[in-house]
Structure formats: C-alpha cells, structure tokens
Structure 1
C-alpha cells in the first residue's frame, strides 16, 4: 500500500503536467489552495492598485455628481421618474441611495469601493470564459489583462463609479450563462445589465446567437430556450417598471424620451473626432494583445484560408465576434462617443486577444509586459490629472454653501450637477442639468439647442416647481459660452434680471443670490 509521502509525490507530479500546474507541484498545501483561491486575491490586488486614483478626488465626472444628487433626492422622499428624473435606468441611483443610507452621503468612497468589486467580478467571469476555451493560463491572463485595460482611457472615464462599470458584471455574466446553456439565467443577466444602462442590453444579441447556434449544432428545438431567455429578460424589467416605479414614467425616461438626445443631428466633425480619439486611446492601451489579434486576422485575410494552429476550434469563435459587434453598436448609439462608453468594448476585446495569443506562437510575457507598462502610464496620468476644474467647482460649491442655509434651494444652470452634492443644497427643480430644458448635450455641438427644443412639458413643469416651492435662494450660472447661456434663453435671462443680483464670480461661473 503506498505511503502518504508517495501519494503526495505522485499527485504533485500529475499536477505539474497541467497548464500552470508547476506552482501547484511545490507541495500538498499549494495543491489544496486551488486555481481560484490563488487567482482571485491577485485579481483583487490588481483591481485595487489600478483604481487607487479613484479615491484621490471627491468627484471624477458629472455623472457621479448627478447620481449622488439623485440619491439624496430619493432619500428625502423623491419619486423616481416623477420628482427625480434621468434618462437612465434606476439600479445605479438606487445603489447610490443604499450606500448613502449606510455610510452617509458626504463621500463617494463606498461607491468607489463597490466599483472595484464590480471590476473584480467582471475579471473573474472573463477568467471563467477564457479558461474554459483555452486553459488555465489563458484564463488568468484574461482576468489580469482586463483589469490592466480597465484604466486605459481618460481617468475621468475609468476612475469614476458610473453606469458602465456596474453594467459590466451582468453583461459578462449573461454571455457566460449563455455559453453554458443556462438560458433563464442569461435572460435575467441581460435584464440586470439593461436596468443599469440601456446599452447593456446589447449583449442579448450574442446570447441569441449562441442559442440558435446551439440548437442548430445539437439538433434540438430552440423555442423552449428562447422562451426561457425572454421570460428571464422580461420579468426583472416588469418588476422594476410596474411595481418599483411608475410604468408611464419608466417607459418615457428609459425608452421613448431620449429621441432628441440620441439623434443624428449635431457637429459631425466633433463626434467623429471623439470616436476616433477614444478608439485610438483604447487601441494603444490594449495593443499588447490586440496586435496579435490584428496580425492573425491580417494573415487569414492575406492567405485566404484558416491558419493550422493549435486550439483552432476555440481560436476566435463567432460568438465573441458577435459580442464585439454588438458592443460597437452600443458604443455608437446616440453618436456621442464619450470615453466611458468604450468600457463596454473591453470584455469581448480582451477575450478575442487572449484567444489569438493562446492559439498562436506569441508568448505571454511580452503581452503582459506591454499591458502593465500601458496601465502604469494611465495610472500616473490619473494621479497627475489636472484639477483646475475641480478646484473651481469646489470654490463655487463653498460659496453656495456660505450664502445659503440647509433649507434653501439652489438652481445650477449648467452641466455640472455635482455642485448640488458638493454644496449640500437641495435642487430647485427635478431637472439637474440645463440639457433637459434646452436639449444641449456636450457631445453634439450647438445645433437644435434652446427653449423650443426642450423635453415635452419641461418648462411648464419647471415653472410649476418654482411657483410651488418658491424661487431658489441661489442660482449658479455655469453655462460660460455654451449655446444655452442666459442671453440665449429668455426665461432664464428674465428670471435673473428680475429677481437676482450677482454675489460672486469664479472663472466663467457666476453666482447669483435672490434680491431681498
């Protein structure tokens, strides 16, 4: 009968033959740790290190300020899609509200921490997908490469705790569930992704692609699986739309009320420039694994045939390409091409790159070295990111707080709703940015901007709010030279001329106080 020592020796020798198994062969204790218990802590450390800059300033983007202000309004009795409005689904505002109820609303550090958790969950799911297709080493590489790429855009887009970050775990989970033919769970995951941000629903396209491909290859009926996906997708949305919010308000704000915002009109040169610029930044950040992918595609195109490489059956399956195309469409919806939109592209691109490296002669070391160097550059950029705008915003918020009381309301006429949160003052209206009242969007230029282009009945609602709650004590004109400056919006110009006096100016921002 073999001794315990002999058994351990044989088991260690067996594990050493597996992909990434050499470290496990060092001893029985290492074997017990397993693949996941060694990898997940590494992913958590990488995610934390890459996102340390997120804790270095109170607000990274207007979206964070908007969400924080919404959360306070909800906590004080506001009703979603009624007295609290946005063009986004409700899951993330509710998450902000929940965090504020537990940790207080003075800091966003709990949300930044949860954002890191979301990145880790996304990385773990990518590990699971890549490991099942190309082995242990590819799985580990997919998780690490995603986390390194996750900061590969402007720091304002990658360090903020906003919609795309919290959308990614459910989006990748939907793909993973579909891969395992767990159709009900896949539908639910698509719904959760969509309820975080509408474009998260684009993952439904690869889910359906896998469903029909699976039915074709296995010779089984697809109707039952499609019914499960449909039910899983519809149920959470129905619960949110019918039970947790108002159906009419949900339909308008999440689905039908954003037509002008997502229209084709605008400054095409600006939009194309932003699209190409952010695409180039993302390409540079992921060049370590995107170059092997591009080289592989070019070789296939040049030779006109498939390459006889190892693992060809799982090299770059069609489902990954469908996922990538659906993500490209999602990024382009609305034609704004903001940098944070490109976060949705990262998971499928990482998997395509990992697959290309795994089935080619490219070594992992240069891929990881380049990706680490690129991530380090973006990390340094985030730590050194200019803070002039944040300093001015803080000055304005301090001035607002000093010239008002906690009972007073404030109107910020601009696109920086974080002023409400930083000054700890209640908004005078449910419309937290001038965009709702003028159709202005930072990504579309100056066309179709003005009172006549506002959302339906927005000005009537605005007037009713001021008539019911009284004029705001403070008005902050943060429009600068924008096409919605008071000179171009008579209602705001008349409001300021008739009832307010200037009490401070900070750069291009002017603070008004109600005349006594």
Structure 2
C-alpha cells in the first residue's frame, strides 16, 4: 500500500471511530426534532408501497425520505437508532471527502484538519436537537463534499468523466434539499475560471459545462420519471417547488434572509479562534484571486480556491435561504467552512514545523494550533451527553399503542407527526402534519390573532376527508387542546367539515386524562355504538324567546338555542345581559338587510373570584356567520382567561361587519376554556344589536 493510501485509510478509520464515539450516546434518544418524525412516518408509507407527495406529503426533495425507508427495510420500521447510525457514517464519510479535497489543494495535513474539524463541529456547534437528528442537510453536505472531492482531485483540468460525476453528485445534493442547487455554482465557476486563465476555446469550456449540467440532470430526470410513472409528478412539483415559492417562501422578507446569513457565523463563532483564523484565510484567498498576475504556483492552485470560495458563499446562501435561522441549516455551510479552516490550520502547522522560521513564531503557531484543537475537542466531548426533555405527546401515544392493533391507523390534527412514531402506528392520510390544511407556515404566521387561511392549500380538506372516509383511523388526536407547536390556533370548531366527520363517527376518549396534557383523543365508534356526547337539547321555546337579538327594527328570536347549564336575560347595571353558561349556542336567522352586529361579552366576576373554590379556567366567545348558500366564516373569536389575565376581566365590546349577502344565520357561541372544563364558566353577551343597511 502506498503512503498516500495508507494515510487515507488511517484517516478514514479515525474519522469513523471518532464520529461513532461522539454520537453513540445520542443514537437511542426518542426523538431529536420533528423532521425525524416526518421522515419516519413518510418512510413507513413508502415501505407500504406508497409514493412520496402522492401518499405522504412534505415540502423537501425526496432523497432522504427514500434513504430512511431503505434503512427501515433493513433494520426494522421506526428504527431511528439505525437511521442515526447511518447518519453518523454519513458524517464520517463527509469528513473523508473533505480530507480528499483538502489534500488535493494542499497536503495530507490539511485533509486531516478539515475532516476532523467537520466531525467535531458537527457534534458541538449546533443545538443538540439539530446536531444529533437525522436532518436532510447531512445528505446535502455529503454529496456536495463528494462533488468537491471528485472535482478537486482531478488535477489541473478534470476530465469530462469527472465533471459528469461532479454534476451527478451535485444533483443528488439537490435531491436531498432544494438550497443545494446553489452548490452547483462552485464547479461551474471553477470551469469558467480555468477557461479564462488557460485561454481555452469557448467550445471546450461549453463542453465542460455541459458535462456538469448533464451529470446534474441525470438523477433529477430519473426522479421526475419515477414520479411521473406513479402518477405523482404534479404533486411532486407542487410540494417541492410551487408550494415553497407561493406559500412557504413569501413569509420571509429578503432583509430577514440576508440577516440570517449571520447565524452560521455565530454558530461556528463558538470556536472564536478558529473563526478568526478562517476569516483571515478567507481574506488571503480573496486577495490571491484578485491578483492580475499570480505566481505560477498560485496559478496552479487558484482554480481550487475559486471552487472553495464559491462553494463557501453558496453554502452560506443556502443556509440563509430559508430565513428561519434553524441551526441545522448551517450544516450546508459547515462543510466548506471546515475545508477552508483546514487549509489555514495546515499552513500554521507548516509554520510550526519550519526550521527556517524563528523559534518564537514557531511557538506561537504551535500554541494557536493547540488552542484550536483543544477547544474543539473539549466542546465536542461536552456535547456528547446533551439531551432534551421528552415530548408531552409520548403519554397519549403510549395509550394509543396499548389500545390499538399494529395494523390500525391514526390521524393527527396538528403539527405533531411525533405521535405516529411514538404510537408506532401508520398515518391514515397523506398529510403527516396538517399545516397544509390550516395555513400554518413554520414558524412565521404563528401570532394568535393572525388568520392563516391565505396559506391553506386549496382542496386539501376535501382530500383529507376522502382519505379518512375510505380508511377510517382507529384514533384521531386533536392537538389544538394545548400549545402544541402553536396548534391552539386551529380548534376543530374552525373546520366544521372535519369536526362534523369526527362527531358522526368518533367519541371523546378519556378527556379528563389527555385534555390537561394538551390533546383531545377521539376513538372510532364501534358498529351500532352511539356518540357518547350527543348534542345539547334546545332551550324551551319560552326561554329562548327571552333572548332576542335586538335590531333597529323588530327584535329577532333565536331559531336554535342550546345552553345545558342555563341561560336567561336580565338588566345588569343598565345593560341587557344575555347570560348563557358555557357551552352555549344561540342561532339567529337574519335578513338580507343586516349589515353588522355589535355588543359586548364577558365572564361574571364571581367566576374567577379568589373565594371561588372551583374558578373558571377561561371561556371562548365566537361569532359565526353562515350566509345562505355560502361557506361558514368566523367573524369573532376571543379567549378570555380572567383568573390569569387581568386584561381579560370586565366587559369587552365588539362590532363585526357582515359581508354583502342575501340573508343567513348568525351563531353566538360560548365555549369552555383550554381544559374543556365548564366549572364556573359564567359567560354572557350584552347589549346585542343588529345594524341594518340604510
């Protein structure tokens, strides 16, 4: 074995052993982040013969999902331990590719430094939930690093075969995640630079560019052909491209994206000495590349430095392109950063070894190297034992697993695919998380009062209901009972079609156990079983007549009124108060002339008084509008929690405008608080008046 091969073999074994040692404690953790749960749920659908985007929806390109499915096929379904072991090998392999690339640019010392840095920083500089999780960016980093290694080890002018392979690997990076498209710019820029410096013909340069483009297009074309053959091409293009451009991307401004480019530098800046050295090395590279007359030795290595510089900028742009500052986005930048830093450390090592240098300079260089190495090793060592709190969905998931059969399916109304994983049950719908149906765009439009209907993908609710009807899940989990990734914004009341489906076929299971945990669990009714919670009986006609809706003409009596715990109208401090203990519903049929409804609402002070041993935990006030022949709209929704929020006490006035219409129904609803507990929910409406057009 040649010395070069021996060094490469030892480096590969060292990188693999170090990566496994660093990541071993993290392999068995239940769930590091939500992306792992999405991958696991999608992979099980794929193993059942499903096709991504048609039978399991996510918005990233497909390679990592099929890779996880392949691991599951070998190691067993939901085996995240095996998936993370595979990711650890991928991290080590990425370090190996950086070793080859850095050795080709400078020497084996640079290769060892670049590879070791990547393995150490990949463990320590990111938030633990991102550092240890099976993220798509690990695939991006591997394929982009492999493309760099193939290109840079090709000598002064890589062959057409190498250029084809470089493009193919860059295409696989893009199939891992869309921002990797930017990494393709590195080999293209290097080829153009070579053509300029070597005065090559335009035909020769175009042939090289075409080889890279052809290689890039091969895996992309095969993926498109696969989805077309399975009737999923339209869905694949929509969710991986159109959705991101039309829904996901516009939530972030250009200024925010630019600002988020600082995040990767902040993360690697936890190694401040290394960051300073990298910045200094980057300035040297820029200076060299801007020279009009480089020395012969510099001319030979400048194409590789062009590749590195453009790849670094592309990685930084890719990390910032989402504009959301998640730590795992930085992985795309981490690979070229470590390659550049490895070159700088190799230069310092050469200074420390050079007999021609002064002793003081050699000592300083050695001390800097020791400081960088020591800090990186200590940080990685400390990061080995980091962990996270368990997700609260584990308990409801365990119940589902105990009370259902392995063949049963479930559906989760929320952004919580974790439950599919923890319950070890397959999803009953293609929607592994429900943001496409609610308009939630992680994590931008999460303000409690912000309406996200604009981001609902048209037709998704019809698709969901068709799937649930064709294959009713054993359990449905409603995550809106608590602040589960902001899902309290999306109670089933706001989605009447889905709510009606559940009411007709399911009953609430153990609400006293799971609602305080933030979940409502619905179980499928057995054949012949009636719903456990029938609709509340209507109020007596004479009682309903005491709750008329005032108008500028004659008052309107409710056509439907329910208030199981009591209702009535009375004068309170000069106001006409409609007391309707939550839960309650008052439905009024209004004429075409109705223009707006105004009034006020609140919770009686005794409900949250200090001496009340069973105080109200809050109540919700909703005004719904159902125009004749039109879709239902929510005109007002307000949760009051006066026991905990002083601003929620007293009287709250409102005025809602009705859209132009030809008549319809107004429903005034009071709902129980966050825990579905009706104790002391003494809710009322006051001075209600329906305004007419003039």
TM-score class, shorter-chain normalisation, is: 0.7 to 0.9
Q: Of Structure 1 and Structure 2, which has the larger fraction of its residues in strand?
A: 2
- Bigger shift: residues 207-216 or 29-38: 29-38
* Secondary structure in 1 matching 2:220: helix
Residue of structure 2 in register with 1:160 after alignment? 133
Pairing 1:130–2:140 present: no
CA gap 1:144/1:438 in 2 versus in 1, 3 angstroms:
same
Question: 1:271 & 1:128 partners in 2: Cα distance?
Answer: 32
Residue of structure 1 in register with 2:116 after alignment? 144
* Secondary structure in 2 matching 1:125: helix
Residue of structure 2 in register with 1:216 after alignment? 196
Question: 1:329 & 1:163 partners in 2: Cα distance?
Answer: 17
Residue of structure 1 in register with 2:398 after alignment? 398
Residue of structure 2 in register with 1:501 after alignment? 508
Pairing 1:473–2:462 present: no
Q: Deviations over 1:287-320 (max 9, x none)?
A: 3422112345679999xx99x99x8665992322
- Bigger shift: residues 503-512 or 154-163: 503-512
Question: 2:367 & 2:247 partners in 1: Cα distance?
Answer: 45
Q: TM-score, normalised by structure 2?
A: 0.63
Residue of structure 1 in register with 2:343 after alignment? 355
CA gap 1:356/1:469 in 2 versus in 1, 3 angstroms:
same
Question: 1:270 & 1:513 partners in 2: Cα distance?
Answer: 44
Q: Deviations over 1:253-305 (max 9, x none)?
A: 222222244323269999899765664233214x3422112345679999xx9
Residue of structure 2 in register with 1:252 after alignment? 238
The residue correspondences of 1:19-418 to structure 2 (distance < 5 A) are 34-151=6-123, 152-179=125-152, 180=154, 181=158, 182-220=162-200, 221-243=204-226, 246-265=232-251, 279-285=265-271, 287-295=272-280, 314=301, 317-359=305-347, 361=351, 363=365, 366-367=368-369, 369-381=371-383, 383-389=385-391, 392-418=392-418
CA gap 1:276/1:325 in 2 versus in 1, 3 angstroms:
closer
Q: Deviations over 1:51-93 (max 9, x none)?
A: 1232130321111111111111111222222112221222221
Residue of structure 2 in register with 1:26 after alignment? none
Question: 1:500 & 1:352 partners in 2: Cα distance?
Answer: 60
Post-superposition shift, 1:368?
5.4
Post-superposition shift, 1:208?
0.7
Post-superposition shift, 1:175?
2.1
Higher relative contact order (CA 8 A, sep 6+): 1
* Secondary structure in 1 matching 2:274: helix
Q: Check conservation: 1:414, 1:479, Cα contact below 8 A.
A: no
Q: Check conservation: 2:128, 2:386, Cα contact below 8 A.
A: no
CA gap 1:301/1:192 in 2 versus in 1, 3 angstroms:
closer
Q: TM-score, normalised by structure 1?
A: 0.83
Question: 1:353 & 1:268 partners in 2: Cα distance?
Answer: 29
In structure 2, runs of 5+ residues without a counterpart are: 352-363, 530-694
- Bigger shift: residues 253-262 or 209-218: 253-262
What number of residue pairs does the alignment pair up? Answer: 482
Question: 2:366 & 2:412 partners in 1: Cα distance?
Answer: 51
Q: Check conservation: 2:91, 2:119, Cα contact below 8 A.
A: yes
CA gap 1:33/1:194 in 2 versus in 1, 3 angstroms:
closer
Question: 2:82 & 2:226 partners in 1: Cα distance?
Answer: 28
- Bigger shift: residues 56-65 or 350-359: 350-359
* Secondary structure in 2 matching 1:222: helix
- Bigger shift: residues 228-237 or 373-382: 373-382
- Bigger shift: residues 260-269 or 104-113: 260-269
Q: Check conservation: 1:266, 1:446, Cα contact below 8 A.
A: no
Q: Check conservation: 1:89, 1:197, Cα contact below 8 A.
A: yes
Q: Deviations over 1:437-464 (max 9, x none)?
A: 1232333142675345212321121121
Q: Check conservation: 1:178, 1:210, Cα contact below 8 A.
A: no
Question: 1:416 & 1:271 partners in 2: Cα distance?
Answer: 27
Residue of structure 1 in register with 2:433 after alignment? 433
* Secondary structure in 2 matching 1:257: helix
CA gap 1:300/1:466 in 2 versus in 1, 3 angstroms:
closer
Residue of structure 1 in register with 2:567 after alignment? none
Q: Of Structure 1 and Structure 2, which has the larger fraction of its residues in helix?
A: 1
Post-superposition shift, 1:102?
1.6
CA gap 1:273/1:408 in 2 versus in 1, 3 angstroms:
farther
Post-superposition shift, 1:101?
1.6
* Secondary structure in 2 matching 1:317: helix
Question: 1:146 & 1:101 partners in 2: Cα distance?
Answer: 29
Question: 2:126 & 2:24 partners in 1: Cα distance?
Answer: 15
* Secondary structure in 2 matching 1:412: strand
Question: 2:472 & 2:482 partners in 1: Cα distance?
Answer: 26
